[in-house]
């Protein structure tokens, strides 16, 4: 007996002879010239046009994720470009492969933690956020789970992106229970650990994504799309002011010397 086929379908976009439609809007007529790239990403992912306020906040959070200087991801992209300069897309792909649990993952972790503590249906019902934060911190510490979105190895005493992102969210009507809860969690985590644990950019973005109501699973996607832009920037710089070759040579020489050898 034969398997029942299911329908192949996609609601994102389609083209015919004379039309190109993305999320129900005509690309030439309703999108080009009217949207900026952040709005287009919002449309692509949510299926609707952002409000002017959402546009400002969403562009800000994605922009924050574009460029973090010399990261492992940028180094991987540059090393890949050294071997395959004809394949810029492969170098970007290599850089993206490292956007996993260690770096970009904390952002989705923050969103997930906030949603688990405060489901969307409970927003605005007068839940005691301070008590909720205290419980969340206590439970995570008991389970020895690191609280995502807090602390930073370099930015001290605070991450300069966080107050600015929260300000932009507040000015545009997107500062509600989730940002408040994240702040309470930060405060309780500091009290419990005795360490300074400022909310970092991934924590701020994770909280703002909850204000938008984005599912936590999509949050990593924002980091991935934004970093693709940054990686193209690094590859362009590598073309003119390379450091991949020099890095490779140094590593190989040092490793050889560790075995008492030289190449010559």
Residue 62 binding its own copies, by CB under 8 A: yes
Among 49, 50, 54, 64, which residue sits at the site for its own copies (rule: CB under 8 A)?
A: 64
Residues 133-162 vs its own copies: string with x where CB under 8 A?
Answer: ---------------------xxx---xx-
| Nearer of residues 138 and 261 to its own copies, judged by Cβ | 261
Among 51, 53, 98, 190, which residue sits at the site for its own copies (rule: CB under 8 A)?
A: 98
CB of 202 to its own copies, least distance (A): 13
Residue 96 binding its own copies, by CB under 8 A: yes
Residue 100 binding its own copies, by CB under 8 A: yes
Q: What is the DSSP string of the chain?
A: -PPPP-----SSEEEETTEEEETTEEIIIIITTT--HHHHHHHHHHSSPPPHHHHHHHHHHHHHTT--SS-HHHHHHHHHHHH-TT-HHHHHHHHHHT-STTTTHHHHHHHHHHHHHS-GGGTTS---HHHHHHHHHHHHHHTTPPPTTB--SSS-S--THHHHHHHHHHHTT--SHHHHHHHHHHHHHHHHH-S---B-HHHHHHHHHHHHT--HHHHHHHHHHHHHHHHHHHHHHHHHS--HHHHHHHHHHHHHHHTT----
Spatial neighbors of 62 by CB under 8 A, at least 6 apart, are 38, 41, 222, 225, 226
Among 122, 145, 146, 255, which residue sits at the site for its own copies (rule: CB under 8 A)?
A: 255
Stretch of 130-138, 174-182, 185-193, 245-253 lying at the interface with its own copies (CB under 8 A)? 245-253
CB of 244 to its own copies, least distance (A): 6
| Nearer of residues 101 and 116 to its own copies, judged by Cβ | 101
Stretch of 111-119, 126-134, 180-188, 253-261 lying at the interface with its own copies (CB under 8 A)? 253-261
Q: Encoding tokens for residue 102? A: 């260690």
CB of 240 to its own copies, least distance (A): 10
Among 48, 84, 119, 145, which residue sits at the site for its own copies (rule: CB under 8 A)?
A: 84
Residue 252 binding its own copies, by CB under 8 A: yes
Q: Encoding tokens for residue 39? A: 């709005």
Residue 37 binding its own copies, by CB under 8 A: yes
Residue 175 binding its own copies, by CB under 8 A: no
Stretch of 125-133, 134-142, 188-196, 232-240 lying at the interface with its own copies (CB under 8 A)? 232-240
């Amino acid at each position: 007996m034969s398997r029942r086929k299911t329908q192949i379908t996609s609601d994102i976009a389609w083209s015919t002879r004379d039309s190109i439609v993305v999320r129900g809007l005509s690309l030439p007529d309703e999108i080009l010239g009217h949207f900026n790239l952040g709005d287009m990403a919002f449309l692509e992912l949510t299926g609707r046009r952002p409000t002017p306020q959402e546009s400002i906040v969403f562009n800000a959070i994605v922009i924050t994720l574009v460029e973090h200087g010399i990261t492992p991801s940028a180094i991987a992209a540059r090393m890949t470009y050294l071997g395959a300069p004809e394949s810029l897309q492969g170098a970007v792909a290599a850089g993206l492969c490292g956007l996993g649990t260690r770096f970009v993952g904390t952002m989705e972790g923050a969103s997930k933690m906030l949603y688990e503590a405060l489901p969307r249906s409970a927003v605005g019902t007068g839940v005691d956020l301070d008590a909720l934060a205290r419980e969340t911190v206590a439970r995570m510490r008991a389970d020895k789970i690191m609280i995502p979105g807090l602390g930073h190895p370099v930015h001290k005493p605070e991450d300069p992106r966080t107050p600015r992102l929260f300000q932009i969210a507040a000015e545009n009507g997107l500062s509600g229970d989730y940002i408040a809860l994240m702040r309470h969690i930060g405060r309780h985590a500091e009290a419990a650990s005795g360490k300074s644990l400022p909310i970092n950019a991934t924590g701020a973005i994770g909280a703002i994504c909850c204000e938008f109501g984005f599912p936590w699973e999509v949050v990593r996607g924002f980091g991935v799309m934004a970093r693709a832009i940054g990686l193209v920037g690094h590859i362009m710089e590598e073309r003119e002011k390379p450091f991949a070759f020099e890095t490779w040579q140094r590593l190989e020489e040092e490793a050889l010397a560790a075995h008492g050898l030289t190449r010559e």
